[in-house]
Structure 1
Amino acid sequence: MRKSKIVNTSKILSKKSMIKMILNSILIFGLFVFSHCDEDNSVDDLKADFSYEYKEVNHVVFTNQSEGEYYSMTWNFGNGKEETTTDKKKTYEVYYPLAGDYDVTLKLLNYSGGTKVTSKTINIASTDFVISFTAEVDALNPNIINLENTSQGQFESFKWIYRDKEIVDETAHAAYFPFVGSYEIELQVIKNGNEISLKKSISISQNDPDYIDNLSLVWSDEFDGLIVNSDNWTFETGATGWGNNELQNYTNGGNAEIVNGYLIITAIKLDDNTAVGSYSSSRIISKGKKEFKYGRMEVRANVPEGRGIWPAIWMLGSNISSVGWPVCGEIDIMEYVGYEPNTVHATVHTPSGYAANGDGTSVTLVSCEEEFHNYGIIWTEKQIDFYIDTPENIIYTYNPILKSEDNWPFDKPQFFILNIAVGGDWGGAQGVDNSIFPQTMEIDYVRVYQEVL
C-alpha cells in the first residue's frame, strides 16, 4: 500500500505570510521615504521672505524678497485683504486706518505644488480713520431709516448702498424701506483711493400702506403726437415666426398710427391663405430707449377679438441680446388669445418655468374686447403684482420664497413690447378665422411710476 505524504501547510503559510509582510513593509517604507524626500526637495530651494516700509500716515509698502523657483505668491495683509499674483516684482501699498498689530503672511507655491510660508507682524501706531454710521427708525414713519455718516478722519467721498440704490455724499440720508423684512445697509468710504466699508442689518416691521401713493410718474407715452415717437419706440420687422410659429409680417410703421391720442396697431389680412406672410401687423419695442427696473407699469388698452388673434402687452429683460431667453426674464402684463373671448392672461417666464410652464393666471374680463381697461404690474425687489384697472385689484402675485437666478431674473431693467400677433402656437391653436380682419388694438397710454425717496 502506498503511503501519503503529509505536508505541514501551516508552516508553509506562515513563511509565505512573513515574506509578504516583509515585502509590504519595505514597499511602504520606500514610498514614505520617497514621498518625504520629494516633499522636502520640492521646497528646499525656496525661501519665503518680504520687507515692509512705513510710508505716509498708516500706509505700509510690502516688497517680495523671496528666493528660489516658484510659480505664485499669495499675500494676506492681516486686514481681511488677500491677493494672489505671479508677478514676483509687484509691490503693495496697503492702508491700515486703525491702530493695532497686523499679521502679514506670504505663501509661495512652486511648480510641484510645494509651499513655503513666512509671517511678520506690523504695528500701526495710531488710528487715522474710523468708519461709522448710525441707523435709526424715523419717529413718524416706521418705513424710513434715518442714516448719518459719523466716520472720523479725512476721506474723499462716500456712498450709501441699500435696496439696489446708491446714494452719494449725503451725510444725513432718509432711507426708504416700504416692505416688511430684514435689510442690509452699507456705508462705503473712499480714502486715499482705498475703499473702506461698514455694513449693518436693520428690520422693518410693517409694509407702507401709502406705497402706491408715494410713487411718482417718471415716464409716459400718451400718444398725443402725430406719429409713433421714435425717441421711445423702435419697430421690429419681419416674418420669422418670432419663436412661436406666428404668421404675420411685422412692418416698419405701416400697421401703426396715432389717432386722436391713441396708438392704433392694426392686423391686416393680405391674402386668403393662413400661412406665414398672409398677414401684416406691428410690434414696437422700447429697448435701448426706455428701460426700467422696478416700479408700477400701467398700460390702458382695448384689445381686438376673433379666432387667431393674439395681442400682447409685455416686457423683456434688456440683457436678452447677451443672455438669451428665458434667462433674461419675461413679464406678460396682458395677453389675449381670440379663441378664448372675455379672458386675459398674466404670466412670467424664467429659466425655472417658461413657455407653457410659465407662472401666472387667467381671469375672466367680460368687457375686454369692447372697453378700455388698465393692465398693470407693481414690480419691486420682493415680488411682482399683476392688476387690472386699479392697483388694489391684484389678480396674481409672483413671489418665489427663495430667489435665485433661475426663478428671479427680475433684478435688472426691462423694456416694453406692444404687438398683435396672428396665429402661432398659442394664438393659432384653433386656427385663424380670416373673416375677422382687420383687427386693432387701441392703446391710450403707457406709464411708469417709481420711488423718488
Structure 2
Amino acid sequence: MGKQKVLKTCLVGALVCSLGIGLATTAHAQSVDTEYDLIELNRDKNQNLIIDSSFENGRQHWKTTGQGTFTDYPECAATGLWCGLLPANTNNACVYQVIQVKPNTEYVAKAKILLASSEASAFFNVKTPDVSTLINNAEVVVTCTPEQAWQYQDIELIFNTGNYSEIAICAMKWTDNTSDAIYRGQVYVDDVSLVEKNPSAAQQYDIVWADDFNGHELDTTQWGYELGCVRGVEQEHYVNDKENVYLENGKLVLKATDRPVEDQYINPRGNRKVIYNSGSVRTHGKKEFLYGRIEMKAKLPKGQGVFPAFWTLGSDFVLDGDINSQQGYGWARCGEIDIMELIGQAGDNSYGNRTVYQTAHTDNNRVTETKLAGTAYTIGENFNNEYHVFGIDWSPNKIEWYVDDEIVQSVDYSHLPIAQKALNRPQYIQMNLAMGGNWPGDVGTGLAGTEFDIDYVYYGQNASQKAAAKAYYETAPHMTGLQNITMVEGEIPDLLKNISVTEGYHVDFSIDDEYMFQSHGGRTECSLRCKGKDDAATLATLPAGKYNIHYTAIPDEVEFETDQWDSSLLVPLAEKEYKFDRKTMILTIVKAE
C-alpha cells in the first residue's frame, strides 16, 4: 500500500465528538488530512466470499455433517495440502460453509470436485444454513466418465439468493441405499469460491477521524493512558513513561521494558510476577465511534507470551472501577470488539507469531456472555516481519474483520438481542501491549525492548453507516456546557454548574487520578477518588493536582441491579437498553493561598 496524501472532508455532526482544552464541543465539519487511504478490501474487487477456500488455513470456517471431513493425504488436494473429503462407504457426508449474502442477488459458486470412480456422483448445492433445505433449486449433480475418474472437474453453479441473507455452500453425498455407487464412491473437493455475478460499485468511505502519529508526542486531547495492573494475571505494569509510550519516525510505539526489581510484585489476581513496564492508550471520554471502518496499520511483536491488542469497548464503560458503577455499564455489557489480538510464542516463525484473533464479547450483567467470532487467521511468516493492516467494517448487527485486504471473519448478530444491546452503541478505541496472562501463559524473560509499532489509526464511514449512526444519536442524550475546571484545595464547588443535558436525563460525574499516577513504588494504580454529586464532600479531601472528571448523562428512569461479580455494587439494569453520554474533562486543584 503506497503512501499518498489524501484529503477527506466530511460532515461529522454528532458522530465523532471532539474534546479540546476549554469547552467541549461537537464538530460539525472536519477536514482530515491522512498519510494513506483506507486499504481497498478484496470484497471491493469482487472478492471470493468463501473463507479458507482451499482448506489450507485451519478450516475453522468450514463445517461438516455425517461423515464429511478433511484430509491432507498426499496428492489428494487440487492445490496445497488439504481438501474436503466425502469418504467411500458412507451415505451421508457433507462439507459446507455458511456465508452472508445479499438477498435477491445472483452469485456464481465454483469448486473443484474429484470423483474416484465413474459410477460415483455427488452434489454441489446451495442450502439453508442448517443444510436442511435446498434454496431455489440451486444444485449441480456431479458425475464423471471413466476418463474423468480421479481427475478434478471444474464445477460452476449460478443462482439467485431470493429472500435469503445467509446461505450454505455445500459439497455433499446422500443416499438411502447402502450399496449403490453414491454410497461406495469417494469424493474430494477443493478451491471453493463464491462471488457476486454482477457486483455493485465499491463502497465509498470518508475518513472522518485519523491519527497518523506524525507529531512529537502523543496527542492527549485524543488519547488517554490506562495505568497500573488492570486485567487477568498479566505480567506488565502499564505506565505513562516516555520510554514505554512515545512517537518516533511517524509511529506510535508501545514498548515493554524491565520493571525495576524493587517495583516488581505478584499480580493480585494470580501467582505471576509483574516484571515488565508497558503501554496502553485509549480514546475513552475523548473520541467515540459508532459504525464504520476502524483500521490500524502496525508491526506486531513476537516472543513467548507477548500479547498486543487493538480493540474497542463501549464508551459508557466504567473503566474497571475507575468510574462509579451506577454511571455506565461494566464488562461485557458495554460491548467489546477485539479487532486484533496476537499470542506470541517462543521460536521464530512459530504459530503464535503468525496468527491473529478476532472476537467480540457481550453479556447481560456478566451472567449470559455471548461471544462472537473467536476465530484465528494465520499467515506464512511472523507478523513482526513487516507492517500489516488490521480492521473491522462495522454496521448495525454486523461486523466484518479484515487483515490487510482480506476479510477473515464476518458475524451477523441480528438474531442475538444481547449482542445488539452491547454492540450497537458507541465504542472507544484501545491499543495495548500486554505481557503474559491467562491466555498466553507465562511471558518469556529477556523481552525488554519488545515493541508494538503503530503507523496509523483511521476511522471511516460509508453513507449507510453515517445514516445509522445519525439515527442512533437522534435519540441519545447530549451534554453541553462542559469545560475544564479549576478549584481550590479544600473547597466543594458545584461541578455541575452551567451543564445542560437532553430532557429525560441528568448528569453526574466521577473523578480519577490518572494524572497523579506514579510508575514507581510497587503496585501503583489509577483509582476512583470521587463517586459523584452524592460524594461531593470527598472533593475537599483531594490534594492539589490534576485529575480526570468523567461526566455522564444518565436516564432519569434508570433502574439498578446488583453486580453479579461484586454484590456491593449496583449497576444499571442489563436487560434495559439505556443510552448514556460520556465526556472526560480536566479538573485542576490548586493550593489555597
Give the TM-score taking structure 2 as reference length: 0.39
| Contact map agreement 1:269 1:434 (CA 8 A) in 2 | no
What corresponds to 2:316 in structure 1? 319
Whole-angstrom distance in 2 between the partners of 1:375 and 1:403: 25
What corresponds to 1:266 in structure 2? 255
Assess, with a 3 A threshold, how the Cα gap between structure 1 residues 222 and 424 changes in structure 2: closer, same or farther: same
What corresponds to 2:400 in structure 1? 385
Assess, with a 3 A threshold, how the Cα gap between structure 1 residues 259 and 356 changes in structure 2: closer, same or farther: farther
Question: C-alpha displacement at 1:452, in angstroms?
Answer: 4.4
What corresponds to 2:173 in structure 1? none
Q: Write the deviation string for residues 262-317 of structure 1: whole angstroms up to 9, x where unpaired.
A: 00110112257784442101110001111110001110010111112111000001
| Contact map agreement 2:397 2:414 (CA 8 A) in 1 | no
What is the correspondence of 1:427-438 to structure 2 with a 5 Å cutoff? 427=440, 429=441, 431-438=442-449
The one-letter code matched in structure 2 to 1:222 is: D
Equivalent of 1:303 in 293, 300, 304: 300
Equivalent of 1:415 in 428, 439, 451: 428
SS of match in other structure, 2:446: helix
Assess, with a 3 A threshold, how the Cα gap between structure 1 residues 354 and 210 changes in structure 2: closer, same or farther: farther
Assess, with a 3 A threshold, how the Cα gap between structure 1 residues 358 and 221 changes in structure 2: closer, same or farther: same
Question: C-alpha displacement at 1:213, in angstroms?
Answer: 3.3
Whole-angstrom distance in 2 between the partners of 1:319 and 1:287: 9
| Contact map agreement 1:335 1:345 (CA 8 A) in 2 | yes
Whole-angstrom distance in 2 between the partners of 1:349 and 1:278: 29
Whole-angstrom distance in 2 between the partners of 1:257 and 1:371: 20
| Contact map agreement 2:362 2:422 (CA 8 A) in 1 | yes
| Contact map agreement 1:292 1:414 (CA 8 A) in 2 | yes
SS of match in other structure, 1:346: strand
Equivalenced residue count is 249
| Contact map agreement 1:360 1:398 (CA 8 A) in 2 | no
What corresponds to 1:445 in structure 2? 456
The one-letter code matched in structure 2 to 1:364 is: T
Larger RCO (alpha carbons 8 Å, 6+ apart) = 2
SS of match in other structure, 2:222: coil
SS of match in other structure, 1:314: strand
The one-letter code matched in structure 1 to 2:424 is: D
| Contact map agreement 1:349 1:359 (CA 8 A) in 2 | no
Assess, with a 3 A threshold, how the Cα gap between structure 1 residues 217 and 407 changes in structure 2: closer, same or farther: closer
Question: C-alpha displacement at 1:334, in angstroms?
Answer: 0.3
Question: C-alpha displacement at 1:433, in angstroms?
Answer: 1.2
Answering whether residue 342 of structure 2 is matched by residue 328 of structure 1, we say no
Equivalent of 1:346 in 335, 349, 358: 358
Question: C-alpha displacement at 1:410, in angstroms?
Answer: 1.4
Q: Taking every aligned residue pair, what percent have the same amino acid on both sides?
A: 32
Assess, with a 3 A threshold, how the Cα gap between structure 1 residues 283 and 396 changes in structure 2: closer, same or farther: same
What corresponds to 1:359 in structure 2? 373
Whole-angstrom distance in 2 between the partners of 1:222 and 1:279: 27
What corresponds to 1:294 in structure 2? 291
Q: Write the deviation string for residues 30-79 of structure 1: whole angstroms up to 9, x where unpaired.
A: xxxxxxxxxxxxxxxxxxxxxxxxxxxxxxxxxxxxxxxxxxxxxxxxxx
Q: Write the deviation string for residues 380-424 of structure 1: whole angstroms up to 9, x where unpaired.
A: 01310000112xx11111112413034652111100001001111
| Contact map agreement 1:326 1:354 (CA 8 A) in 2 | no
What is the correspondence of 1:279-290 to structure 2 with a 5 Å cutoff? 279-290=276-287
Whole-angstrom distance in 1 between the partners of 2:458 and 2:201: 17
Assess, with a 3 A threshold, how the Cα gap between structure 1 residues 383 and 262 changes in structure 2: closer, same or farther: same
Whole-angstrom distance in 2 between the partners of 1:401 and 1:416: 23
Whole-angstrom distance in 2 between the partners of 1:279 and 1:354: 34
The one-letter code matched in structure 1 to 2:235 is: L
What corresponds to 2:239 in structure 1? 251
| Contact map agreement 2:245 2:279 (CA 8 A) in 1 | yes
What corresponds to 1:156 in structure 2? none
Equivalent of 1:278 in 275, 278, 299: 275
Assess, with a 3 A threshold, how the Cα gap between structure 1 residues 420 and 356 changes in structure 2: closer, same or farther: farther
Whole-angstrom distance in 2 between the partners of 1:309 and 1:355: 26
| Contact map agreement 1:348 1:354 (CA 8 A) in 2 | no
| Contact map agreement 1:233 1:284 (CA 8 A) in 2 | yes
What corresponds to 2:385 in structure 1? 370
Assess, with a 3 A threshold, how the Cα gap between structure 1 residues 333 and 212 changes in structure 2: closer, same or farther: farther
The one-letter code matched in structure 2 to 1:264 is: V
The one-letter code matched in structure 1 to 2:333 is: V
- What's the C-alpha RMSD, in Å, of the aligned pairs? 3.0
Whole-angstrom distance in 2 between the partners of 1:409 and 1:275: 33
Whole-angstrom distance in 1 between the partners of 2:413 and 2:428: 22
Whole-angstrom distance in 2 between the partners of 1:420 and 1:413: 24
The one-letter code matched in structure 2 to 1:250 is: Y
What is the correspondence of 1:63-212 to structure 2 with a 5 Å cutoff? none
Whole-angstrom distance in 1 between the partners of 2:281 and 2:375: 25
What corresponds to 1:398 in structure 2? 411
Whole-angstrom distance in 1 between the partners of 2:377 and 2:164: 33
Question: C-alpha displacement at 1:238, in angstroms?
Answer: 1.1
What corresponds to 2:206 in structure 1? 216
Question: C-alpha displacement at 1:338, in angstroms?
Answer: 1.1
Give the TM-score taking structure 1 as reference length: 0.51
| Contact map agreement 1:234 1:284 (CA 8 A) in 2 | yes
The one-letter code matched in structure 2 to 1:246 is: E
